[in-house]
Amino acid sequence: MRTILSRPAFVLATATSVALSGESSAQTASMVYRLGSDTVAIESFTRTGNRMTGDMVQRNGATVVRMQYDMTLGADGRPTAATMKRMQGDGTPIPNQPGEARFRFTADSTIRETVFADSVQRRAFAAPRALVNFPTFIYGPMELLAVMKRAGKPVDSMPALGFAGNVGYTGIVAAGGDTMRVRGGAYAMLMRYDNAGRLLSVDGSNTTNKVIATRVNGALDVAGMARAMKPTGTLSTRDIARGGFGAGGIVLIDYGRPHVRERTVWGGTLVPFDSVWRTGANDATHLSTSRTLTMGELVIPPGLYTLWVQHTRQGTFLIVNKGVGQWGTQYNAALDLGRVLMATAATPSHVEEFTIAIRSIAPTRGAIEMAWGPSVASVQFTATTAR
Protein backbone atom coordinates (compact mmCIF):
# COMPACT_ATOMS: atom_id res chain seq x y z
CA MET A 1 0.00 0.00 0.00
CA ARG A 2 1.25 3.49 -0.86
CA THR A 3 1.39 5.69 2.25
CA ILE A 4 0.15 9.21 1.53
CA LEU A 5 0.43 10.99 4.87
CA SER A 6 0.31 8.75 7.89
CA ARG A 7 -1.84 9.62 10.87
CA PRO A 8 0.77 9.22 13.65
CA ALA A 9 3.64 11.02 11.95
CA PHE A 10 1.75 13.90 10.42
CA VAL A 11 -1.44 14.74 12.24
CA LEU A 12 -1.30 13.75 15.90
CA ALA A 13 2.21 15.05 16.38
CA THR A 14 1.27 18.28 14.62
CA ALA A 15 -1.76 18.80 16.82
CA THR A 16 0.44 19.06 19.89
CA SER A 17 3.50 20.74 18.42
CA VAL A 18 2.05 23.50 16.24
CA ALA A 19 -1.27 24.34 17.90
CA LEU A 20 -1.30 28.09 18.32
CA SER A 21 -0.95 28.53 22.06
CA GLY A 22 -2.87 31.77 22.37
CA GLU A 23 -5.90 30.66 20.37
CA SER A 24 -6.99 27.33 21.85
CA SER A 25 -10.27 28.72 23.20
CA ALA A 26 -13.58 26.90 22.93
CA GLN A 27 -14.34 28.75 19.67
CA THR A 28 -11.10 27.71 17.94
CA ALA A 29 -10.81 24.19 16.61
CA SER A 30 -9.56 22.04 13.76
CA MET A 31 -10.94 19.06 11.90
CA VAL A 32 -8.65 16.35 10.55
CA TYR A 33 -10.20 14.51 7.59
CA ARG A 34 -8.97 10.98 6.95
CA LEU A 35 -9.71 8.42 4.29
CA GLY A 36 -8.96 5.31 6.27
CA SER A 37 -5.38 5.74 7.46
CA ASP A 38 -4.58 8.65 5.12
CA THR A 39 -5.06 12.35 5.83
CA VAL A 40 -6.73 14.09 2.89
CA ALA A 41 -7.70 17.47 4.37
CA ILE A 42 -7.20 19.78 7.37
CA GLU A 43 -9.62 22.51 8.45
CA SER A 44 -9.11 25.12 11.18
CA PHE A 45 -11.71 27.71 12.18
CA THR A 46 -12.31 30.38 14.82
CA ARG A 47 -15.76 31.59 15.86
CA THR A 48 -16.30 34.75 17.91
CA GLY A 49 -19.41 36.79 18.63
CA ASN A 50 -19.59 38.55 15.27
CA ARG A 51 -16.98 36.85 13.12
CA MET A 52 -15.96 33.43 11.85
CA THR A 53 -12.75 32.69 9.98
CA GLY A 54 -11.36 29.48 8.59
CA ASP A 55 -8.50 27.91 6.67
CA MET A 56 -8.64 24.56 4.86
CA VAL A 57 -6.27 22.53 2.72
CA GLN A 58 -7.17 19.40 0.78
CA ARG A 59 -5.37 17.19 -1.69
CA ASN A 60 -7.29 15.51 -4.43
CA GLY A 61 -5.85 13.82 -7.48
CA ALA A 62 -3.03 15.87 -8.96
CA THR A 63 -3.58 19.01 -6.89
CA VAL A 64 -3.33 20.50 -3.41
CA VAL A 65 -5.84 23.33 -2.88
CA ARG A 66 -6.07 25.74 0.03
CA MET A 67 -9.15 27.84 0.86
CA GLN A 68 -9.63 30.62 3.41
CA TYR A 69 -12.82 32.37 4.46
CA ASP A 70 -13.83 35.32 6.64
CA MET A 71 -17.46 35.99 7.60
CA THR A 72 -18.96 38.94 9.44
CA LEU A 73 -22.00 37.81 11.41
CA GLY A 74 -25.14 39.71 12.28
CA ALA A 75 -26.96 39.64 15.60
CA ASP A 76 -28.92 36.58 14.47
CA GLY A 77 -25.73 34.63 13.74
CA ARG A 78 -26.13 34.79 9.95
CA PRO A 79 -23.43 36.32 7.76
CA THR A 80 -23.81 39.87 6.52
CA ALA A 81 -20.61 39.76 4.46
CA ALA A 82 -18.02 37.14 3.57
CA THR A 83 -14.90 36.51 1.51
CA MET A 84 -13.62 33.18 0.28
CA LYS A 85 -10.13 32.78 -1.19
CA ARG A 86 -8.80 29.85 -3.22
CA MET A 87 -5.14 29.13 -3.98
CA GLN A 88 -2.62 26.38 -4.53
CA GLY A 89 -1.04 24.64 -1.54
CA ASP A 90 2.01 26.91 -1.65
CA GLY A 91 -0.17 30.01 -1.58
CA THR A 92 0.22 30.93 -5.26
CA PRO A 93 -2.79 31.59 -7.50
CA ILE A 94 -4.45 28.75 -9.38
CA PRO A 95 -3.80 29.42 -13.09
CA ASN A 96 -6.78 30.68 -15.08
CA GLN A 97 -9.08 30.53 -12.08
CA PRO A 98 -10.63 33.28 -9.91
CA GLY A 99 -8.77 33.68 -6.65
CA GLU A 100 -11.46 35.25 -4.47
CA ALA A 101 -15.22 35.57 -4.08
CA ARG A 102 -16.79 38.38 -2.05
CA PHE A 103 -20.34 38.24 -0.75
CA ARG A 104 -22.72 40.83 0.70
CA PHE A 105 -25.98 39.52 2.14
CA THR A 106 -28.99 41.80 2.57
CA ALA A 107 -32.65 41.36 3.47
CA ASP A 108 -33.68 41.15 -0.19
CA SER A 109 -30.65 40.02 -2.22
CA THR A 110 -27.11 38.71 -2.29
CA ILE A 111 -24.23 40.32 -4.15
CA ARG A 112 -21.29 38.18 -5.25
CA GLU A 113 -18.06 39.56 -6.73
CA THR A 114 -15.79 36.99 -8.38
CA VAL A 115 -12.22 38.28 -8.49
CA PHE A 116 -9.93 37.29 -11.37
CA ALA A 117 -6.35 38.47 -11.86
CA ASP A 118 -7.44 41.09 -14.37
CA SER A 119 -11.12 41.70 -13.64
CA VAL A 120 -14.01 41.46 -11.19
CA GLN A 121 -17.36 39.97 -12.15
CA ARG A 122 -20.33 41.22 -10.12
CA ARG A 123 -23.73 39.50 -9.93
CA ALA A 124 -26.83 40.15 -7.88
CA PHE A 125 -29.14 37.28 -6.85
CA ALA A 126 -32.70 37.40 -5.53
CA ALA A 127 -31.65 35.38 -2.51
CA PRO A 128 -32.54 37.23 0.71
CA ARG A 129 -30.56 36.40 3.84
CA ALA A 130 -28.55 33.73 2.07
CA LEU A 131 -25.55 31.78 3.36
CA VAL A 132 -22.22 30.75 1.88
CA ASN A 133 -22.22 27.33 0.24
CA PHE A 134 -18.79 25.99 1.16
CA PRO A 135 -16.99 23.17 -0.66
CA THR A 136 -16.35 19.72 0.79
CA PHE A 137 -14.04 19.69 3.84
CA ILE A 138 -15.25 23.06 5.12
CA TYR A 139 -17.79 22.07 7.76
CA GLY A 140 -16.86 24.38 10.65
CA PRO A 141 -19.47 26.98 9.59
CA MET A 142 -22.14 24.36 10.15
CA GLU A 143 -21.78 25.28 13.83
CA LEU A 144 -23.74 28.42 12.97
CA LEU A 145 -26.64 26.30 11.73
CA ALA A 146 -26.47 24.11 14.83
CA VAL A 147 -26.82 27.20 17.05
CA MET A 148 -29.79 28.41 15.00
CA LYS A 149 -31.44 25.01 15.19
CA ARG A 150 -31.06 24.96 18.97
CA ALA A 151 -32.85 28.31 19.01
CA GLY A 152 -35.77 26.76 17.15
CA LYS A 153 -35.09 28.29 13.73
CA PRO A 154 -35.64 26.28 10.53
CA VAL A 155 -32.27 25.35 9.04
CA ASP A 156 -33.05 22.39 6.82
CA SER A 157 -33.06 24.27 3.49
CA MET A 158 -31.53 27.74 3.36
CA PRO A 159 -30.51 29.63 0.18
CA ALA A 160 -26.76 29.62 -0.34
CA LEU A 161 -24.18 30.76 -2.88
CA GLY A 162 -20.80 29.24 -3.56
CA PHE A 163 -17.63 30.35 -5.33
CA ALA A 164 -19.42 30.08 -8.67
CA GLY A 165 -22.78 29.10 -10.13
CA ASN A 166 -26.31 30.03 -9.21
CA VAL A 167 -28.23 29.92 -5.94
CA GLY A 168 -28.36 26.53 -4.26
CA TYR A 169 -29.19 25.60 -0.72
CA THR A 170 -27.58 24.28 2.43
CA GLY A 171 -28.94 22.95 5.68
CA ILE A 172 -28.90 20.32 8.40
CA VAL A 173 -31.57 17.93 9.65
CA ALA A 174 -31.74 15.85 12.81
CA ALA A 175 -30.36 12.34 12.41
CA GLY A 176 -30.83 11.12 15.98
CA GLY A 177 -29.37 12.20 19.32
CA ASP A 178 -26.57 14.73 18.94
CA THR A 179 -26.13 13.98 15.22
CA MET A 180 -27.17 16.09 12.22
CA ARG A 181 -27.14 15.27 8.50
CA VAL A 182 -25.95 17.75 5.88
CA ARG A 183 -28.41 18.77 3.17
CA GLY A 184 -27.51 20.55 -0.03
CA GLY A 185 -23.84 19.60 -0.09
CA ALA A 186 -22.08 17.14 -2.35
CA TYR A 187 -22.36 14.46 0.36
CA ALA A 188 -24.94 13.78 3.07
CA MET A 189 -22.30 13.77 5.81
CA LEU A 190 -23.26 13.07 9.42
CA MET A 191 -22.07 15.66 11.96
CA ARG A 192 -22.01 15.23 15.72
CA TYR A 193 -22.21 18.22 18.08
CA ASP A 194 -21.77 18.75 21.80
CA ASN A 195 -24.31 20.54 24.02
CA ALA A 196 -22.79 23.93 23.17
CA GLY A 197 -23.19 23.39 19.43
CA ARG A 198 -19.51 22.70 18.80
CA LEU A 199 -18.74 20.37 15.91
CA LEU A 200 -17.09 17.17 17.18
CA SER A 201 -16.94 14.90 14.14
CA VAL A 202 -17.88 14.55 10.49
CA ASP A 203 -18.68 11.09 9.16
CA GLY A 204 -19.02 10.16 5.49
CA SER A 205 -19.12 6.39 6.03
CA ASN A 206 -22.61 6.10 4.55
CA THR A 207 -21.71 8.19 1.49
CA THR A 208 -19.31 7.55 -1.36
CA ASN A 209 -16.93 10.07 0.22
CA LYS A 210 -16.04 7.68 3.11
CA VAL A 211 -13.99 10.37 4.89
CA ILE A 212 -14.16 10.66 8.68
CA ALA A 213 -13.06 13.79 10.54
CA THR A 214 -12.35 14.31 14.23
CA ARG A 215 -11.95 17.52 16.20
CA VAL A 216 -8.66 18.85 17.55
CA ASN A 217 -8.99 21.74 19.98
CA GLY A 218 -6.92 24.74 18.92
CA ALA A 219 -5.76 25.90 15.51
CA LEU A 220 -3.31 23.98 13.35
CA ASP A 221 -0.66 25.43 11.08
CA VAL A 222 -2.64 24.95 7.88
CA ALA A 223 -0.21 27.05 5.83
CA GLY A 224 2.73 24.87 6.86
CA MET A 225 0.79 21.68 6.28
CA ALA A 226 -0.35 22.90 2.87
CA ARG A 227 3.26 23.46 1.80
CA ALA A 228 4.20 19.95 2.96
CA MET A 229 1.22 18.12 1.47
CA LYS A 230 1.64 16.03 -1.65
CA PRO A 231 -1.19 15.29 -4.11
CA THR A 232 -2.93 11.99 -3.56
CA GLY A 233 -2.75 10.99 -7.19
CA THR A 234 -5.53 8.74 -8.41
CA LEU A 235 -7.07 7.20 -5.30
CA SER A 236 -8.80 4.43 -7.23
CA THR A 237 -7.13 3.43 -10.49
CA ARG A 238 -9.13 1.96 -13.37
CA ASP A 239 -8.50 -1.57 -14.64
CA ILE A 240 -9.98 -4.14 -17.02
CA ALA A 241 -10.34 -7.84 -16.24
CA ARG A 242 -10.40 -10.04 -19.36
CA GLY A 243 -11.37 -13.62 -20.10
CA GLY A 244 -11.38 -15.56 -23.38
CA PHE A 245 -13.77 -18.43 -24.14
CA GLY A 246 -13.27 -19.84 -27.61
CA ALA A 247 -12.64 -17.93 -30.83
CA GLY A 248 -14.15 -14.48 -30.43
CA GLY A 249 -15.55 -15.28 -27.00
CA ILE A 250 -14.48 -12.23 -24.98
CA VAL A 251 -15.66 -11.19 -21.51
CA LEU A 252 -14.44 -7.84 -20.14
CA ILE A 253 -15.06 -6.08 -16.82
CA ASP A 254 -14.05 -2.41 -16.52
CA TYR A 255 -13.87 -1.28 -12.87
CA GLY A 256 -12.31 1.06 -10.32
CA ARG A 257 -9.87 -0.26 -7.71
CA PRO A 258 -10.29 1.36 -4.27
CA HIS A 259 -7.89 0.60 -1.40
CA VAL A 260 -8.85 -0.72 2.02
CA ARG A 261 -6.75 1.87 3.92
CA GLU A 262 -7.18 0.06 7.25
CA ARG A 263 -10.99 0.10 7.07
CA THR A 264 -13.47 -2.75 7.41
CA VAL A 265 -14.73 -4.21 4.13
CA TRP A 266 -17.49 -6.81 3.83
CA GLY A 267 -20.31 -5.84 6.17
CA GLY A 268 -18.23 -2.90 7.42
CA THR A 269 -17.41 0.65 6.34
CA LEU A 270 -16.72 -0.06 2.68
CA VAL A 271 -19.44 -2.59 1.78
CA PRO A 272 -22.16 -2.17 4.43
CA PHE A 273 -24.71 -4.91 4.92
CA ASP A 274 -27.70 -4.72 2.55
CA SER A 275 -26.49 -1.67 0.61
CA VAL A 276 -26.09 -1.92 -3.16
CA TRP A 277 -22.40 -1.37 -3.85
CA ARG A 278 -21.00 -0.21 -7.18
CA THR A 279 -18.44 -3.04 -7.23
CA GLY A 280 -15.43 -0.75 -7.24
CA ALA A 281 -15.11 3.04 -7.36
CA ASN A 282 -16.08 6.09 -9.42
CA ASP A 283 -17.77 5.13 -12.74
CA ALA A 284 -20.11 2.17 -12.56
CA THR A 285 -18.47 -1.21 -13.16
CA HIS A 286 -19.26 -2.43 -16.67
CA LEU A 287 -19.45 -5.98 -18.02
CA SER A 288 -19.07 -6.56 -21.76
CA THR A 289 -19.60 -10.00 -23.24
CA SER A 290 -19.60 -11.25 -26.84
CA ARG A 291 -21.18 -14.55 -25.79
CA THR A 292 -24.31 -15.50 -23.87
CA LEU A 293 -23.33 -16.17 -20.25
CA THR A 294 -25.31 -18.32 -17.86
CA MET A 295 -24.84 -17.88 -14.09
CA GLY A 296 -27.10 -20.31 -12.26
CA GLU A 297 -30.58 -19.47 -13.59
CA LEU A 298 -29.54 -16.02 -14.83
CA VAL A 299 -28.99 -15.78 -18.60
CA ILE A 300 -26.99 -12.78 -19.86
CA PRO A 301 -27.22 -12.19 -23.64
CA PRO A 302 -24.25 -10.62 -25.48
CA GLY A 303 -23.99 -6.92 -24.76
CA LEU A 304 -22.98 -4.28 -22.23
CA TYR A 305 -24.18 -4.26 -18.61
CA THR A 306 -23.28 -2.85 -15.21
CA LEU A 307 -22.41 -4.99 -12.19
CA TRP A 308 -23.47 -4.29 -8.62
CA VAL A 309 -23.02 -6.21 -5.37
CA GLN A 310 -25.35 -6.54 -2.40
CA HIS A 311 -23.73 -8.09 0.67
CA THR A 312 -26.25 -9.37 3.22
CA ARG A 313 -26.19 -11.59 6.28
CA GLN A 314 -27.92 -14.24 4.17
CA GLY A 315 -25.35 -14.11 1.37
CA THR A 316 -23.57 -11.98 -1.21
CA PHE A 317 -25.37 -11.32 -4.50
CA LEU A 318 -24.08 -10.18 -7.87
CA ILE A 319 -26.60 -7.93 -9.66
CA VAL A 320 -26.51 -7.57 -13.45
CA ASN A 321 -28.18 -4.36 -14.61
CA LYS A 322 -29.10 -3.15 -18.11
CA GLY A 323 -28.35 0.51 -17.34
CA VAL A 324 -24.95 1.58 -18.68
CA GLY A 325 -22.78 4.67 -18.99
CA GLN A 326 -23.49 6.06 -15.52
CA TRP A 327 -21.62 7.07 -12.38
CA GLY A 328 -21.33 4.37 -9.77
CA THR A 329 -23.98 5.80 -7.45
CA GLN A 330 -26.72 5.84 -10.10
CA TYR A 331 -28.26 2.43 -9.60
CA ASN A 332 -31.76 1.79 -10.96
CA ALA A 333 -33.25 -1.47 -9.70
CA ALA A 334 -35.98 -1.30 -12.36
CA LEU A 335 -33.31 -2.08 -14.96
CA ASP A 336 -32.01 -5.23 -13.23
CA LEU A 337 -31.56 -8.17 -15.55
CA GLY A 338 -31.26 -10.39 -12.49
CA ARG A 339 -29.13 -11.42 -9.58
CA VAL A 340 -27.20 -14.50 -8.55
CA LEU A 341 -25.78 -15.74 -5.25
CA MET A 342 -21.99 -15.62 -5.01
CA ALA A 343 -19.73 -17.99 -3.10
CA THR A 344 -17.46 -16.37 -0.49
CA ALA A 345 -14.16 -17.53 0.96
CA ALA A 346 -11.19 -16.18 2.86
CA THR A 347 -8.25 -14.92 0.80
CA PRO A 348 -4.78 -16.42 1.44
CA SER A 349 -3.58 -12.95 2.44
CA HIS A 350 -4.94 -9.43 2.76
CA VAL A 351 -5.96 -7.85 -0.57
CA GLU A 352 -5.39 -4.10 -0.22
CA GLU A 353 -6.59 -3.02 -3.68
CA PHE A 354 -9.95 -4.28 -4.90
CA THR A 355 -9.27 -6.86 -7.61
CA ILE A 356 -11.58 -8.50 -10.15
CA ALA A 357 -10.40 -11.53 -12.12
CA ILE A 358 -12.09 -13.60 -14.83
CA ARG A 359 -10.75 -17.12 -14.45
CA SER A 360 -11.00 -19.81 -17.11
CA ILE A 361 -12.11 -23.22 -15.78
CA ALA A 362 -12.75 -24.95 -19.15
CA PRO A 363 -13.12 -23.81 -22.77
CA THR A 364 -16.68 -22.66 -22.14
CA ARG A 365 -16.68 -22.29 -18.36
CA GLY A 366 -15.28 -19.55 -16.19
CA ALA A 367 -15.64 -17.64 -12.95
CA ILE A 368 -15.75 -13.99 -11.92
CA GLU A 369 -13.79 -13.42 -8.71
CA MET A 370 -13.88 -10.24 -6.60
CA ALA A 371 -11.22 -10.06 -3.89
CA TRP A 372 -10.91 -7.29 -1.31
CA GLY A 373 -9.61 -7.21 2.22
CA PRO A 374 -9.92 -10.65 3.86
CA SER A 375 -12.45 -12.21 1.47
CA VAL A 376 -13.18 -13.09 -2.13
CA ALA A 377 -16.65 -13.44 -3.66
CA SER A 378 -17.02 -15.49 -6.84
CA VAL A 379 -19.62 -16.80 -9.26
CA GLN A 380 -19.18 -19.38 -12.02
CA PHE A 381 -20.68 -19.12 -15.50
CA THR A 382 -20.88 -20.96 -18.80
CA ALA A 383 -20.39 -19.26 -22.18
CA THR A 384 -21.92 -20.25 -25.49
CA THR A 385 -19.51 -21.22 -28.27
CA ALA A 386 -21.23 -19.05 -30.88
CA ARG A 387 -22.62 -15.55 -30.81
Which backbone phi and psi does 8 adopt, to 5 degrees?
-65, -45
What is the band of 23 on the pLDDT scale with cuts at 50, 70, 90? very low
Tell me: pLDDT of 6 over 80.
no
Nearest residue to 215 (alpha-carbon basis) of 14, 36, 43, 4: 43
Tell me: pLDDT of 165 over 50.
yes
CA 149 to CA 141: how far, in whole Å? 13
The three-class DSSP label of residue 148 is helix
Most confident of 215-229, 232-246, 312-326: 312-326
Which helix (DSSP H) or strand (DSSP E) does residue 88 occupy?
A: strand 79-88
- Window from 57-66, 211-220, 305-314, 371-380 with minimum mean pLDDT: 57-66
Tell me: pLDDT of 11 over 90.
no
Kindly state the average pLDDT of the residues 183-187: 89
Query: For position 232, what pLDDT does the model report?
Result: 77
Q: Is 310 exposed, middle or buried (0-12, 13-18, 19+ CB in 10 A)?
A: middle
- The CB density around residue 328, as the number of other CB atoms within 10 Å, is 19
Tell me: pLDDT of 347 over 50.
yes
Q: Are 376 and 359 in contact (CB under 8 A)?
A: no
What is the band of 209 on the pLDDT scale with cuts at 50, 70, 90? confident
What is the band of 387 on the pLDDT scale with cuts at 50, 70, 90? low
- Strand pairing report for 158-161 and 315-321: unpaired
**Angle CA(305)–CA(244)–CA(236) in degrees, nearest 5?**
55
Residue 167 to residues 18, 65, 386: CA-CA distances in angstroms?
38, 24, 55
CA 219 to CA 221: how far, in whole Å? 7
Tell me: pLDDT of 183 over 60.
yes
Tell me: pLDDT of 174 over 80.
yes
Tell me: pLDDT of 271 over 60.
yes
